Amino acid sequence: MRIPIQIAISLAAFWQPILCCGADAVSQEHFYEGMTSSSAAVAIAPDMFIACCSQDNVLRVYRTEGSPSPIASLDVSSFLGLDGEPADIRGAAKIADRIYWIASHSRDEEGRARPGRYRFFATTITKKNDQIAIEPVGKPCVTLLNELPGLNTVSTLRLDKAMGLGEELSERQRQKLAPTREGLYIAALCADPHIDTLLIGFRNPRPVRVLTGRPHALVVPLNNPSEVIEKGKAPIFGEATLWDFNGLGITCIAYCPTDGAYFILAQPHNAGAPCVLYRWSGMKANPPEPVRQFSLTDKELIDVKLVPFEGSPAGGQGSKRLLLLTGGDKRADATTSEKHFRGIWIQP
Three-class DSSP labels, 31-99: EEECCCCCCEEEEEECCEEEEECCCCCEEEEEECCCCCCCCEEEECCCCCCCCCCCCCEEEEEEECCEE
Most confident segment among 16-25, 26-35, 149-158, 277-286: 277-286
Angle at 166 (CA atoms; ends 148, 163), nearest 5 degrees: 45
- Give the model's confidence band at 170: pLDDT under 50 very low, under 70 low, under 90 confident, else very high: very high
* 3-state SS assignment for residue 203: strand
Please give the pLDDT value at position 152.
Answer: 58
For the purposes of burial, counting CB atoms within 10 Å of the CB of 318, is it exposed (0-12), middle (13-18) or buried (19 or more)? exposed
Q: pLDDT tens digits, residue range 227-250?
A: 999 999 999 999 899 999 999 999
Q: Is the CB of residue 277 less than 8 Å from the CB of residue 292?
A: yes
Sheet containing 305-308, strands listed edge to edge, beginning at the edge strand earlier in sequence: 29-33, 340-346, 322-326, 305-308
Handedness of CA 37, 43, 48, 50 (dihedral sign): negative
- Give the model's confidence band at 271: pLDDT under 50 very low, under 70 low, under 90 confident, else very high: confident
Taking the C-alpha atoms of residue 269 and residue 178, their distance in angstroms, rounded to an integer, is 11
pTM of the complete model: 0.89
Please give the pLDDT value at position 36.
Answer: 92
CATH code: domain of residue 338: 2.120.10
* 3-state SS assignment for residue 195: coil
| Mean pLDDT for the stretch of residues 264-268 | 98
Buried b (16+ CB within 10 A) or exposed e, 192-201: beeeebbbbb
| Mean pLDDT for the stretch of residues 284-303 | 92
Lowest mean pLDDT segment, chosen from 26-35, 126-135, 183-192: 26-35
Say how far residue 59 (Cα) sits from the centre of its chain.
14
Determine phi and psi for 24, rounding to 5 degrees. -65, -25
DSSP annotation of 215 = B
Please give the pLDDT value at position 23.
Answer: 30
Residue 265: strand pairing partners = 252, 277
- Check residues 147 and 143 and name the one with the higher pLDDT: 143
| Mean pLDDT for the stretch of residues 101-113 | 97
Count up the domains in the chain and report the number.
Answer: 1
- Which has the closest alpha carbon to 201: 154, 250, 267, 262? 250
For the purposes of burial, counting CB atoms within 10 Å of the CB of 45, is it exposed (0-12), middle (13-18) or buried (19 or more)? middle
Contacts of 300 (CB under 8 A, 6+ apart): 326, 327, 328, 342
DSSP codes of every residue in 229-265: HHH-PPP-B---EEE-STT-EEEEEEEETTTTEEEEE
Examine the pLDDT at 12 and tell me if it is beyond 80.
Answer: no
Taking the C-alpha atoms of residue 154 and residue 122, their distance in angstroms, rounded to an integer, is 26
Determine phi and psi for 98, rounding to 5 degrees. -110, 140
Please give the pLDDT value at position 301.
Answer: 92
Buried b (16+ CB within 10 A) or exposed e, 233-262: eebebbebbbbebeebbbbbbbbbeeeebb
Taking the C-alpha atoms of residue 266 and residue 218, their distance in angstroms, rounded to an integer, is 11
Buried b (16+ CB within 10 A) or exposed e, 141-167: bbebbeebeebeebeebbbbbbbbeee
Q: Which domain holds residue 223?
A: 5-346
Please give the pLDDT value at position 339.
Answer: 87
Q: Is the CB of residue 215 less than 8 Å from the CB of residue 206?
A: yes
